[in-house]
Structure 1
Amino acid sequence: MQLLPLPKTVKKQEGTLNIEKIQHLAFLGFTESEQTHLLKKAGRVFAKALTISPSPSAFRVIKADLPKQAYALTVSEEGISLKAADIEGAHFAFTTLGQLIDGREIPCVEITDEPDLSVRGVLLDISRSKVPTLETLKEIADWLEQLKYNHLELYVEGFSFEYRSFPEVLENGNFITVQEYRELEQYCLDRCIDLVPNQNGFGHMSDWLKREEYQDFAEIPEGFFIWGAHRAPSTLNPLDPRSRELVTKMYRDMLPYSKSKYFNMNFDEPYELGQGKSKDYCDKVGRDRVFIEYMESLAEVVRSYDKRPMIWGDVLIHHPESLAHLSKDLIFIDWGYSADYPFYKHLKMLAEAGIDFMAAAGTSTWAVITSRYQDMIGSIRNASLNTIKYRGLGILVTDWGDMGHLQYLPFSYPGFIFGALAGWNFNEAHEYLIAPFLSRMVENALLAQLILDMSTYTRLEGEYRSYGSRLFSAILWAEHSRQEPKDFLTKMASNIIGEKNRLFLKNEFDGFEARLEKIDGLSPVAQTVKGELANALALLKTLLKTNEMLALKKYDMTDDIISELQAFLAKHAELWQKRNKPAGLSESSRRITQLISVLEKLKEGS
């Protein structure tokens, strides 16, 4: 049996219980609605309909004096005793029970268990091209339930939610509908997962600010320069009443449909704040004060829907003097996606300031095709350790989709698994536990191991990067060089991989390909995963060839590279349909077509 996350104590006993003895549940202390919830959960665990019995039963579910979310589970040859203080604890006990069942038998055992952190969450980015289908989201919720997560967010910026007050922005259909959201929410609630609404309303507003009717709401309408490239405007002017009116209207389109008591306002990365229209006021009173004033004006709207506001902390963490001015109900989320991010410093400061906080780590899958495995493991371990140490609320494992969301979902699974391990029982969060559970998710052990191995390729590039990779940089700079060959070559000069490291990568990728070709006899789920791994590997090999071409200035290689990129796009379109809404495909594919355009111009000019 594999119990995951590992319980705090497990005492194996002699004998087994035949599940045929379990026909009824006897509840003591649970409300009628709680009993209904747990009866549905029991039905899923035992794969049969059970009933409630008012008389003593072979399965007793007792409300007891235990910590929140804790449970005590005893399985004997005579029956099952389950004790918990609340519905969450009882639900998690049933999840453990489901992992214990072996055919028609349950081994006799005594388990006591409780999580290290009260909130264990995952954030899925549904706003960078890829909006998963409802079926995909439900499948993810099923796995999160198995991992004892209790918090899920769907990150929204731009037009990935059905804003009914703005029908003009919904023309392409690449959004989650209100009906889908409500259905998913109930599905999550049945699994003791809080679907927390999420929407940006300060930075990350580029899609809105590109529209003519909202351009003037921007802090810098003409755009700004950052990270070596000119970018479209992304931040609202916090002094313009129209900014608050726009975001309030968006809140009114989303919050009434949510049962959660929380709302993630985001408010991260308002890059232009204090550089444009608000510069004079920011210079006068401070950038942090302007941030807080605007944020609090919208937090009041959030509270009017009986929800507790959450914000990312990247702005205010650098202004510790401002923390005292935050409302006491605000939840501060400190985020860092590299293994050495200073959670130890930031969370200690937040704890001393008396602020409720969470820490956000990441799957590290974005802008890299597979994952940066060491940063995934390191950031999750770092966030969990310091959140436990400084008594924070919990952790959030984020899964972003920068640059076209070109990574496939299975590469995010290891981060989901390890986040569950570290958030529940940190002392038993071992990396070797990832592969067996991942094998269940992808329905093949060889594919699971290949996912993990493909997620480490960046170690061979010759240089550590906390964002992206040298191979992926060709995609990044094809977009941000305005597809001009001269600018592209200039930006790529610092991304050339040395000959020895290119050889290392080639041998690594050839080995992955040989392993993948030998995997056959697969279930439909595993067959899809194999296709995703094959296409990811094909793109990595093509990007390596692109890097070699640039290093050697052999531009006669461009025809082969373009042909391979076009083959990737054809397969990408086929795979996209299996998990996601079709409307976002063109935006995802645009990152590759931009690279093709640059390569065609390079060939013409050579």
Structure 2
Amino acid sequence: MIRILPRPQHIEEREGRLLLDYHCRITMDSSCPSEVFFYASQLAEQLKKSSGIELLIDRRTSGAHKGIVLCMSGEAGITRENKKEKEAYRLEITPEGVTVCAAEKEGLFNGVQTLRQLIIQYGSSLPCLYIEDYPELSVRGWFMDVTRGRIPKMAYLKELADRCSLYKINQLHLYIEHTFLFDGLSEVWRDDTPLTAQDILEFDAYCAERNIELVPSVATFGHLYKVLRTKTFHELSEVEEAEGTAFSFYERMCHHTLNSTDDRAYELVCRLIDEYSPLFRSNLFNINCDETFDLGRGRGKERADEIGSHVMYVQWVNRVCEHVKALGKRPMFWGDIIAAHPEAIKELPEDVICMTWDYSPTPREINVKKLWENGAHQYLCPGVQGWNQAIHQLDNAYENIKQMAAFAHKYDGEGLLNTDWGDFGHFQHPELSMVGIVYGAAFSWNSDIQEKSAINADISVIEYGDRSASLVEVISHMSNQAVVNWGEFVRILENCRYQVAEREVTAFWEKYDEQTENSQKQIEFCNEAIRNDMAKVSALLVGIEEGKRKYIAPILHMAEGQILINTMFGVIKNVHDGQQNPCIDKRALAEAFEIWYYEYRRQWHKISRESELYRIGELIFWLADYIREL
């Protein structure tokens, strides 16, 4: 079976095979610009890694060297009528050699990625075939939160860019609230490990080489928790919290919106945009502006009573968009607030991009349709379903991304931007995001969407080198065994510790009483299922490509973390219900969580800066002490 992700628009399997050996070369014909040398180098490196064969790269076409030819020509049956055609390519493998041809370098890059996937599976003995391919959506993007707990190291960001580009992802956003070394904001980032201008410049160039547009993305309205808790900027908050209020993961999600009636807030936002935008070659700027829950409820209430909070929202977004446009950038913003008044999209700049999101396994079509009817330029934005979790919810990710991609195809979406948030400290390990990222890449490229079991098998083989093609299906089953997820667990702990997650303790627990009836039996059942799936994954390791095994260890570690969360939840719930479970040694359980956190910290530091790891540690240590005293 030939596995290619995304699936090509047209593929013909033919008889015969091509055997590549040291006589062969990778030849760039005279039509190729200098950037194509990097593409040729990718092929040479992949062939060496997958087969041990080392091919020379050449530009001389006078000799008759068998092997791989990269060419750019409009005569190849590929034209550049629009942006989609710009990324089209043709790939042909015969017993005499491989030809990858495109009208533009972006298309040639895509063809090379397809060939790399074939080399991953077949090494130097390639099946003969013919492919004509192009994307149906111009933008296939990935949005990564690097601000609310976890800031990846530069080496890991580059590795992720490499992995994304293999699946023809061509846009990437790094979401920033406070984790950039902004001038004059040391009070905000002083306890963090922020990205620097040099980091951005370096990563922007790295992405560009791989046909990925790095888009600046800064919170400019809501979600400014750390900024608006400082002594300098707290007066700019719509609703100001009491001085000395303890940090809360839950409260960080819900409040801290700028006061749009204060010109100082607008001046701050403009200063951030002006400082950040010159670092990017992209002509886009993502101003975010989502979940402005407090708008018009505090300092701006008088204005909201006069004109309505929705009008205040549109006025602010319009104002920020105009500033972005004055810098020569095209603005983007999240569509959750404006969806209640879709006609208001006409009051914003004509070219603004509305990022319409819905993370449900059954997302609502109505918001997408109404915005489309009002002329909105839309990115459809599903999610990889990792936030709030120990193990990404892969079944939900598949359904959510599939449906949102279908909406994008149906309602003329400019692209699909797959999101990866860091709610509640970015507890999840980023590794399993790759499954959702590939779902998004595949479904945005080709509207003929694969069944879940089929694409999971393809991902297992191509991404993880799993000869059994079963790895992702096993992990998907394991991901469904959370009695409570990390986000719910944090709310329970903060309720016990601060009583901030819910004001009414009784009402708070009623939800979990309904959700976890016969909870102890459920916990034991789910934990046993996780252990069985962990054993299956471990058994697969011997058949997984050696270089990919490092990706599996953190998945197994997070699975053990879910077992501990399930068990801890059972203990806390028993206390709440006035019951005891003598079978559980609470001191041993507390120690097990501390030992688990030691390994969690090791895994974190392999790929992430220190960031806000300490906040997760503080919560786990408090929990361990709390459990010991029960």
When normalised by structure 2's length, the TM-score is 0.86
Which position in structure 1 is the counterpart of 2:488? Answer: 473
Q: Return the alpha-carbon distance in structure 2 between the equivalents of residues 524 and 108 of structure 1.
A: 27
Q: Does 1:337 align with 2:344?
A: no
Which position in structure 2 is the counterpart of 1:25? Answer: 28
Which position in structure 1 is the counterpart of 2:42? Answer: 44
Q: Return the alpha-carbon distance in structure 1 between the equivalents of residues 538 and 124 of structure 2.
A: 36
Amino acid paired to 1:13: R
Amino acid paired to 2:154: L
Which position in structure 2 is the counterpart of 1:14? Answer: 15
Residues 495 and 505, structure 2, Cα contact 8 Å, conserved in 1: no
Q: Work out which of the residue numbers 323, 332, 341 in structure 2 matches 1:301.
A: 323
Structure 1 residues 502 and 489, CA gap change in structure 2 (3 angstroms): farther
Amino acid paired to 2:224: M
Structure 1 residues 484 and 351, CA gap change in structure 2 (3 angstroms): closer
Residues 362 and 415, structure 1, Cα contact 8 Å, conserved in 2: yes
SS at match of 2:132: strand
Render the CA deviation track for 1:80-138: whole Å, top value 9, x for unaligned: 44443332222111111222333334433211111121111111111121111111111
How far off is 1:408 after superposition?
1.2
Q: Does 1:206 align with 2:225?
A: yes
- Superposed, 1:201-240 pairs within 5 Å as 201-222=220-241, 233-240=255-262
Q: Does 1:171 align with 2:190?
A: yes
How far off is 1:528 after superposition?
3.9
SS at match of 2:219: coil
Which position in structure 2 is the counterpart of 1:457? Answer: 481
- Superposed, 1:199-598 pairs within 5 Å as 199-222=218-241, 233-342=255-364, 344-431=365-452, 432-444=454-466, 448-458=472-482, 461=483, 469=484, 472-483=487-498, 490=506, 491-496=508-513, 497-499=516-518, 500-516=521-537, 518=539, 526=548, 528-552=550-574, 553-554=579-580, 557=584, 558-596=586-624, 598=626
Amino acid paired to 1:95: Q
How far off is 1:183 after superposition?
1.2
Residues 477 and 488, structure 1, Cα contact 8 Å, conserved in 2: no
Which position in structure 2 is the counterpart of 1:466? Answer: none
Amino acid paired to 1:283: D
How far off is 1:448 after superposition?
4.2
Structure 1 residues 23 and 382, CA gap change in structure 2 (3 angstroms): closer
Q: Work out which of the residue numbers 156, 177, 183 in structure 1 matches 2:176.
A: 156
Q: Return the alpha-carbon distance in structure 1 between the equivalents of residues 337 and 503 of structure 2.
A: 31
Structure 1 regions of 5+ residues with no counterpart?
462-468
- Bigger drift between 550-559 and 380-389 goes to 550-559
Q: Work out which of the residue numbers 61, 80, 98 in structure 1 matches 2:72.
A: 61
Q: Return the alpha-carbon distance in structure 1 between the equivalents of residues 464 and 136 of structure 2.
A: 28
How far off is 1:442 after superposition?
4.2
How far off is 1:480 after superposition?
4.5
Which position in structure 1 is the counterpart of 2:135? Answer: 115
Amino acid paired to 1:73: L
Residues 411 and 451, structure 1, Cα contact 8 Å, conserved in 2: no
Render the CA deviation track for 1:225-255: whole Å, top value 9, x for unaligned: xx99866851010110110111111112211
How many residue pairs match? The answer is 584
Structure 2 regions of 5+ residues with no counterpart?
46-54
Residues 200 and 265, structure 1, Cα contact 8 Å, conserved in 2: yes
Residues 470 and 495, structure 1, Cα contact 8 Å, conserved in 2: no
Which position in structure 1 is the counterpart of 2:149? Answer: 129
Structure 1 residues 320 and 597, CA gap change in structure 2 (3 angstroms): farther
SS at match of 2:131: strand
Q: Return the alpha-carbon distance in structure 2 between the equivalents of residues 324 and 366 of structure 1.
A: 33
Q: Percent same amino acid among aligned pairs?
A: 26
Q: Return the alpha-carbon distance in structure 1 between the equivalents of residues 464 and 123 of structure 2.
A: 21
How far off is 1:11 after superposition?
1.2
Structure 1 residues 125 and 325, CA gap change in structure 2 (3 angstroms): same
SS at match of 1:74: strand
Residues 442 and 448, structure 1, Cα contact 8 Å, conserved in 2: no
Q: Return the alpha-carbon distance in structure 2 between the equivalents of residues 533 and 148 of structure 1.
A: 25
Render the CA deviation track for 1:578-605: whole Å, top value 9, x for unaligned: 111124321232342343355456x2xx
Structure 1 residues 26 and 264, CA gap change in structure 2 (3 angstroms): same
SS at match of 2:529: helix
Structure 1 residues 354 and 152, CA gap change in structure 2 (3 angstroms): same
Render the CA deviation track for 1:518-574: whole Å, top value 9, x for unaligned: 566587755544432332122212222223224442277532332222122111111
Q: Return the alpha-carbon distance in structure 2 between the equivalents of residues 185 and 480 of structure 1.
A: 42
Q: Return the alpha-carbon distance in structure 2 between the equivalents of residues 530 and 349 of structure 1.
A: 42
Structure 1 residues 25 and 248, CA gap change in structure 2 (3 angstroms): same
How far off is 1:352 after superposition?
1.5
Residues 3 and 462, structure 2, Cα contact 8 Å, conserved in 1: no
Render the CA deviation track for 1:266-306: whole Å, top value 9, x for unaligned: 00011100101111212222222211211222222222332
Amino acid paired to 1:352: E
Render the CA deviation track for 1:403-427: whole Å, top value 9, x for unaligned: 1211112221211111111111121
- Superposed, 1:100-111 pairs within 5 Å as 100-101=118-119, 102-111=122-131
Q: Return the alpha-carbon distance in structure 1 between the equivalents of residues 189 and 488 of structure 2.
A: 31
When normalised by structure 1's length, the TM-score is 0.89
How far off is 1:180 after superposition?
1.5
Render the CA deviation track for 1:457-485: whole Å, top value 9, x for unaligned: 24xx4xxxxxxx45752322212554459
Amino acid paired to 1:569: Y
Structure 1 residues 483 and 222, CA gap change in structure 2 (3 angstroms): closer
Residues 414 and 438, structure 1, Cα contact 8 Å, conserved in 2: no
Amino acid paired to 2:488: S
SS at match of 1:362: coil
Structure 1 residues 24 and 190, CA gap change in structure 2 (3 angstroms): same
Which position in structure 2 is the counterpart of 1:465? Answer: none
Residues 122 and 152, structure 1, Cα contact 8 Å, conserved in 2: yes
Residues 5 and 458, structure 2, Cα contact 8 Å, conserved in 1: no
Q: Return the alpha-carbon distance in structure 2 between the equivalents of residues 478 and 228 of structure 1.
A: 10
Q: Return the alpha-carbon distance in structure 1 between the equivalents of residues 37 and 176 of structure 2.
A: 34
How far off is 1:22 after superposition?
3.3
Amino acid paired to 1:454: M
Amino acid paired to 2:400: S
Q: Return the alpha-carbon distance in structure 2 between the equivalents of residues 260 and 430 of structure 1.
A: 35
Q: Return the alpha-carbon distance in structure 1 between the equivalents of residues 146 and 269 of structure 2.
A: 19
SS at match of 1:45: helix
Residues 209 and 233, structure 1, Cα contact 8 Å, conserved in 2: no
Which position in structure 2 is the counterpart of 1:464? Answer: none
Residues 402 and 449, structure 2, Cα contact 8 Å, conserved in 1: no
- Bigger drift between 373-382 and 490-499 goes to 490-499
Structure 1 residues 179 and 448, CA gap change in structure 2 (3 angstroms): same
Amino acid paired to 2:232: E
SS at match of 1:582: coil
Residues 410 and 451, structure 1, Cα contact 8 Å, conserved in 2: no
